[in-house]
Structure 1
């Protein structure tokens, strides 16, 4: 995990450039946490009482990207990649999950999210989603929060797998 190729956000960018750069930085952080691990390691639960795995976090990130940018922001019909089973988030059930498929889905979701955000004129432009008014600013801020929280999980999981730590 010593090959940090993330691009730090500008310290003087405007709001939109800053929010999108911070979101990309968080995306790159998740990728970095998974870098160099085997499929078995990516599926490994670091805490016996939790279903969280690095691969599950990647699959969850793909679903969250698709949900907020395609479903909410763009109004697309967006079926889950990994439908729920028994009320559980299926993206966290990774025992037989295909690692390559998960990373391809996540990268495609991120690209789709960037395109959806770019299509919106202003951070303050809104959509009506199920009776709630939601701005692009909110979606970007929420996604930064989503990744930051899960990257904290990823950091602990990675440390438990091979001792690697770092931002």
Structure 2
């Protein structure tokens, strides 16, 4: 694993937006940091009764990033997603043939798309999609929670897969 200190650190004395986005970017980078070094086969290996895998979590997070920022915040229609009404768990379905590097690259692209959308709005701006229920602040804080929760899952899976631990 790369040095944990290579991840972007949230500011210790930043403003609200800088701090929120700093913590979100730290969690995003931690997802990638925790997954790097696994083989495609191990990243796709299910260890639980569910279909949860390291690769599946990262694909799920890519779809969730696009959904919250592009669909909900920006009001974009027809944003690609792997889940469907017929297969609500589509993004979780991976195999050893799925490249972890490709999955990570897609996740990193989705995170950049989210940053690009967020840059066009103020924290108090209300989203254009999803019934205009949420502000950018809410979405960014929710994504921090969602990403951190799944980072904990990856942390446990990684330890079970190859014994690697770390902050």
* TM superposition score normalised by structure 2: 0.91
Structure 1: tracts of 5 or more residues without a match:
none
RMSD: 1.6
Q: Hey, what does 1:106 align to over in structure 2?
A: 107
* TM superposition score normalised by structure 1: 0.91
Corresponding residue SS for 2:134: strand
d(CA) in 1 for partners of 2:61 and 2:27? 11
Structure 1 segments of 4+ aligned residues over 4 angstroms from their partners: none
d(CA) in 2 for partners of 1:126 and 1:66? 17
d(CA) in 2 for partners of 1:133 and 1:83? 22
Q: Hey, what does 2:73 align to over in structure 1?
A: 73
Structure 2: tracts of 5 or more residues without a match:
none
- Contact 1:20/1:140 (CA < 8 Å) preserved in 2? yes
d(CA) in 1 for partners of 2:31 and 2:111? 12
Q: Hey, what does 1:41 align to over in structure 2?
A: 42
Q: Report how far residue 128 of structure 1 moved.
A: 4.4
- Contact 2:62/2:106 (CA < 8 Å) preserved in 1? yes
Q: Hey, what does 1:151 align to over in structure 2?
A: 151
Q: Hey, what does 2:60 align to over in structure 1?
A: 60
d(CA) in 2 for partners of 1:126 and 1:26? 24
Q: 1:98 to 1:81 in 2, by over 3 A?
A: farther
Q: Deviations over 1:8-28 (max 9, x none)?
A: 211111100001110000001
